[in-house]
Amino acid sequence: MNIRVIQWATGGVGKAAIACVLNHPQLDLVGCWVHSASKDGVDVGDIIGTAPLGVAATTNVDELLALEADCVVYSPLVPNDDEVIAILRSGKNVVTPVGWVYPDPGNPRHQAVADAALEGGVTLHGSGIHPGGITERFPLMVSSLSSAVTHVRAEEFSDIRTYNAPDVVRHIMGFGGTPEEAMQGPMASLLEAGFKQSVRMIADHMGFRIEPNIRTIQDVAVATADIDYAPFPITTGTVAARRFRWQALVDGEPVITAAVNWLMGEQDLEPAWNFGGRGERFEVEITGDPTVSLTFKGLQPETIAEGLVKNPGVVATANHCVNAIPDVCAAAPGIKTYLQLPLFAGRPAPDLAAATP
């Protein structure tokens, strides 16, 4: 019998996750939670722009918790611990891109989720790409090529104009507002939980002697002229780029860095930040003997217009979650990270797939 999957939320990641489930020969979509009343009762195929799938979306949490299902792909914008605990206690495994990449057993909130998984006899796995893969899984893999490592860096360079969530860009990320508003806004705290977990996973698994506190650095650049951004104005003097760094230190010096660079293009910024002549990308660099670097291209769209229709980074985030589902469902109960799961992979296009035995 195939693994029965519920999709929780149908934003960009949720829609991409549904498409990945439909392409996976071991998975069947059986339910879908939506936030908007306008989507309640709508066939999921209509939501993602395909032929009807025979699965109706619902806003009714109790209805979904009572459903016979094996796993939930949990991808709301902001996680709700009580919601996740209820899903786990209902006996459903969870894969998610919004947390729990490397949870701290000393954190009461993390422990409550872990306890719920044990009570439900199921597993939770935090995934994604940044954090959730490029920030910890791939650096650990690449580091095996080196020795005497002195620094591990994972870094994103993205044009934020391709991110099709203008309310988030304005009110959470702080673009188009004053530098003071951005620096005092929620973005750093929303990001840091995940990125600090990523940094600690690398430190623990590689054996770095890091200081207890992970250093957080955030900076902004402002527009020196009005920037063309259709959803809302980016006027002169308002925030047009953001940088974040999370660093693990040994004797005051960084040995692990996770970093984000979000720019409204490369023109008219002060300071004059840019992508360094290499375009949008993700980078992993291991400084050691030898120094090894890996560049990921293709996770950002070719153009702004393409990104607003389908952002490959969002799709990759969803795929990384969905492709883990069979191994997550087979794992022992509790919270499981990449360190406790076997290597998993994507699936071929249907016309290239081997026959199912």
Strands ordered across the beta sheet of 334-335? 27-33, 3-8, 71-74, 93-96, 123-126, 334-335
The whole-number pLDDT of residue 304 equals: 83
Q: Which two tokens stand for residue 305?
A: 């217009």
Q: What percentage of the chain carries pLDDT values higher than 70?
A: 99
Say if residue 235's pLDDT is above 90: yes
Q: Say which residue, 221 or 311, is predicted with more confidence.
A: 221
Residue 302's pLDDT band (cuts 50, 70, 90): confident
**Do residue 201 and residue 287 come from a single domain?**
yes
SS3 call for 244 = strand
Residue 221's pLDDT band (cuts 50, 70, 90): very high
Domain-embedded: residue 13: yes
Q: How far apart are the first and last CA of the chain?
A: 13
Say if residue 146's pLDDT is above 90: yes
Arithmetic mean of pLDDT, 185-213? 94
| β-sheet bridge partners, residue 73 | 7, 95
Q: What totals of helices (H) and strands (E) does the chain contain, helices first?
A: 12, 13
Q: What are φ and ψ of residue 44, in 5° steps? A: -60, -30
The secondary structure of residue 58, as a DSSP letter, is B
Strands 334-335 and 215-223: unpaired
The half-sphere exposure of 345 on its side-chain side, counting CA atoms within 13 A, is 2
Residue 106's pLDDT band (cuts 50, 70, 90): confident
Say if residue 88's pLDDT is above 70: yes
Residue 148's pLDDT band (cuts 50, 70, 90): very high
Range of the domain at 163: 137-298
Arithmetic mean of pLDDT, 150-165? 93
The whole-number pLDDT of residue 309 equals: 83
The whole-number pLDDT of residue 198 equals: 96
The whole-number pLDDT of residue 357 equals: 60
**Do residue 125 and residue 148 come from a single domain?**
no
d(CA 321, CA 328): 10
**Do residue 173 and residue 292 come from a single domain?**
yes
Look at residues 89, 67, 85 and name the one whose alpha carbon lies nearest to residue 7.
67
CATH number of the CATH domain containing 193: 3.30.360
The whole-number pLDDT of residue 195 equals: 95
The whole-number pLDDT of residue 305 equals: 83
Domain-embedded: residue 179: yes
Average of per-residue pLDDT values in the chain: 95
Residue 300's pLDDT band (cuts 50, 70, 90): very high
Say if residue 303's pLDDT is above 90: no
CATH number of the CATH domain containing 325: 3.40.50.720
**Count of domains forming the chain:** 2
The half-sphere exposure of 167 on its side-chain side, counting CA atoms within 13 A, is 2
**Do residue 158 and residue 273 come from a single domain?**
yes
Say if residue 307's pLDDT is above 90: no
